Each structure stands twice: as structure tokens, then as C-alpha cells.
Amino acid sequence: MKTQPLPQITGELALTSELKPPQASLSSETKRILYLLAACIALTMTGYGIAMPVFAKRIGELGSGVQALGLMTMSFAFAQFLLSPFMGSFADRFGRRPLILIALAGEVIANGAYLYAQSVPLYIAIRFFQGGISAGLLPATLGVVGDRVPEAQRAQWTGVIMASYAAGFIFGPALGGLLFDHWGYAAPFAVSGILAFLALVLALVMVPETRPASSRVQKLNPIAGQTKWREIWASLPRPIYLFATLLLIDFIATFAFAFIEPQMALYFYNQLLLTPTQLGLIVGGYGLTTLLGQAFLGKLSDRHGRKPVMILGLLLTSALYLGLIFVTSFGLLFPVAVLSGLGDALFIPAIAASYLDIAEQEHISRVMGIKGSVAALAGVVGPLLVAIISPWTSPASIFAISAAATLVAILLALLVLKGRSNIEGRKEQVQPIPSSQ
């Protein structure tokens, strides 16, 4: 049973700088690979963000509305929920690089298909394909982090990777709106496809395989007599209760935001009477803080332990839900959104690094695929549930439910993630990372 990483996740006793062993610096090759992957993801997600504002307009032109948009969103998330664990297993079995290339190629195909789609069912089908084909991108990319980065620096580099995702969602929609206003719906999809193609070429030419060949061969020969489900069960991180707790915390955190998102925009416009510019500033402030925070503050949980940083992140994230209940002016909502974005910037790298800490090396991408599947499920359940209860529930009650759910996640982290620091158990962190030949 792998018990060594547990102390760092729980953070019961943060190691001081005097007690921590010196960290081995990453090789220049490893840094190059990680920055290239971050660039590929930023290009792809910018393209993804470019297309987002266009969907509502295009669906409207085809005679449909909110229901069709909801089905598109749910089809994407449902595909990711179904396929993320299998895509993660694929990356463990055959290597990280093939899955990254498949996901990027799928984005190129999907954007090309959008250009020729002339019906709502076809748009929904393409979104399902896009969700499924891209489901392995994050598990494979974080698998590279697990392959090449020592435990003491994983949250830092996870933050860099996750910041590249945030960059696309921040800058893409504005560019997409500009392209649509000047050249129509085809321009955003064309530019999105071009960016995905550039990312594909960059990855194809410059990103090597990081999964050792011997490990891939070993995975192709499972233990004799072991069924598929037993093999999956055996691959899950131990102790199981810790893995299950991380998944539950992840689900709650994702659900809490997905639950308020449909209500939030309507609340801003209809009850607080904010302008689109003010809403854009709030969303932009939140997103930019998350982006910069993940890029520069991800390493905090490497230094102070996963548990305290996760809890602090959840506390700050809850500021948004409480602020929506008690704050009614733009001047106060903007700093509340920034504070919440800072919370996400602390929480996301810390919990992602926690999975990497407890996963066995040969099952990293499968574990991250399961994490992605749980997050996708939360992304489906949140909007679906709020759509069901919103006719009988006030906006304040909806925001309060998300705040209460976040409190449950904080209590889970406080009560379940327990342990003690162990300096000797962290020796593997200071070993140099070998360069691939």
C-alpha cells in the first residue's frame, strides 16, 4: 500500500523551510515539455472559448433556444463523464502522447464539422463527439506532470497547466464575439480550428512521449485470471477512503459553481440591474485572478501541504456564494469575485496534485480520468438540478445551497484528511528527474 504521499495531502504539520529537504530542480527538457504542453492547451482552449459566444447566435438562427443550448452543454459533459476514465486508462496503457494528439486532432475535426452543420441535432452530436474525443487531454497532460515532476513541485506545475486552460476561457470569448460581429459565424469556428491545428502540429513535432516504454508493455500484460473490474479496482489509489474523499470534495466544489451559474447571470441582469459591461468585468476579474493565481500560487501546497491550501481555497471560493446573497452593488461584487477566483486558484492545483500524490505511477492518467469524470458529472447535475428547483426557489436560496455544499466540502477536508508529516518518507522528491533519451 502506498502510504508515503499521505502526509503531504493532509498537511497536518506543514514543514518549515528549515526542515524541508532541498528540492531538485527540473531538467531543461522537462520544463520545455511542460511549457509546450501548456502552450498547446492554451491554443486549443482559446479556440474553444472563441466558439462559445457563437453557439447561442447560431442556434437562434436555426430556430431553437435555451433548451438546445442546454442539451449541447449536457451532451459535452455527459461524453466526458462516460469516457474520461477510459481515456485515462488508454494513456496509461499506450502512452501520453497518442492521447494528446488524438484529442487535439478531434478538436480540429469538430470545428470543421461546425462549419457545415445546418441543424440543431447535428450541433448536439458534434458537441458530444467533441466532449468524448477531448476527454483524455487533461488526464494525459497531468500524467506527464506525474511522469516527470517530483512530488514536491507537482502543484506548481499543475497550476501552470491549469492556468493554460483558464487562459483560453478568458481571452477566447471576447475574440469570438469580435470575429462573429465582423465576419459571421463561420469565422470563429475557422479560427478555432486553425488554433487547434497549430496546437496539434506543435505537439506532434515537439512533445515527446514521457511514459516509459517498459511500463507501457507491462500494462499490456495484466495479471492472469484478473477480470477487468478487479484490475480497475486494484489500480485505484490506496487508502480507498482517501481517494473517495478527494472525489467527493471535487464533485461538491464543481457542483456548487455549476449549480449557481445559470441563475447568476439572470440575477445580475434582472434583479441587480447590472450592465453587460459590469457583468463582463466581474467574470473577467474572476477568471484573470484564477489564471494568474494558478500560474504563480500553485506551489503553495507544495510548501505548506495540500490540506490547508485546499481548505483556504474553498473558504475563499465560498465568498462568491455568500456575496451574491448579501452584496448588491457592483463595487463590492467585483472584489468578491476576485477573492473567489483566488480561492479557485489555490484549490484546483492543490487537489489535482493530491491525486497525483496518491496514484501509482502506472495508473496516473486513469486516476485523473476518474477525477475528470466526476467533475463532468457535477457539471451535468448542477444545471439540471437548478433548472428543476428554480421555479420554486429564490435566487438567494440557490446561492445559499452552494455555500452550504462548500461548507460540507470544507468539513470533509478537516475531518477526513488526517495524517502526520514524515520527512523521511519524502526522500523520493529530491531525486533528479532523468531525461528521456
- The string of pLDDT tens digits covering residues 34-74 is 999 999 988 888 887 777 777 777 877 888 766 777 788 78
Q: Would the pLDDT of 101 be above 50?
A: yes
Range ranked top by mean pLDDT from 141-150, 264-273, 332-341: 332-341
Q: What is the pLDDT of residues 344-403, one digit of tens each?
A: 999 999 999 999 999 988 888 889 999 999 998 998 898 888 888 888 889 999 999 999
**Phi, psi angles (nearest 5°) of residue 135:** -65, -25
**Residue 420: predicted pLDDT:** 33
User: Residue 379 is placed in which grid cell?
Assistant: 457539471
**Residue 6: predicted pLDDT:** 39
Residue 350 to residue 230: CA distance in whole angstroms: 29
C-beta separation of 215 from 235 below 8 A: no
pTM exceeds cut of 0.75 = yes
**Residue 227: predicted pLDDT:** 59
C-beta separation of 427 from 21 below 8 A: yes
Cα–Cα distances (Å) from 127 to 77, 99, 201, 393, in that order, read: 9, 19, 23, 31
**Residue 8: predicted pLDDT:** 43
User: Residue 76 is placed in which grid cell?
Assistant: 459535452
Residue 159 to residue 297: CA distance in whole angstroms: 8
Specify the range with the lowest mean pLDDT, choosing from 189-198, 227-236, 279-288, 364-373: 227-236
Cell 486516476, located at residue: 367
Chain centre to alpha carbon of residue 247: 13
User: Residue 321 is placed in which grid cell?
Assistant: 456564494
- Residue 241's pLDDT band (cuts 50, 70, 90): very high
Residue 98: count of CB within 10 angstroms of its CB: 16
Residue 111 to residue 435: CA distance in whole angstroms: 36
Give the residue, 190 or 280, on which the prediction is more confident: 190
**Residue 287: predicted pLDDT:** 86
Q: What is the DSSP string of 328-391?
A: -SHHHHHHHHHHHHHHHHHHHHHHHHHHHHHS-GGGHHHHHHHHHHHHHHHHHHHHHHHHHHGG
**Residue 213: predicted pLDDT:** 65
For the chain, the residue count is 437
Q: Would the pLDDT of 4 be above 90?
A: no
Cis ω for the linkage preceding 239 (within 30 of 0): yes
Q: What is the sign, positive or negative, of the torsion defined by CA atoms of 160, 163, 165, 171?
A: negative
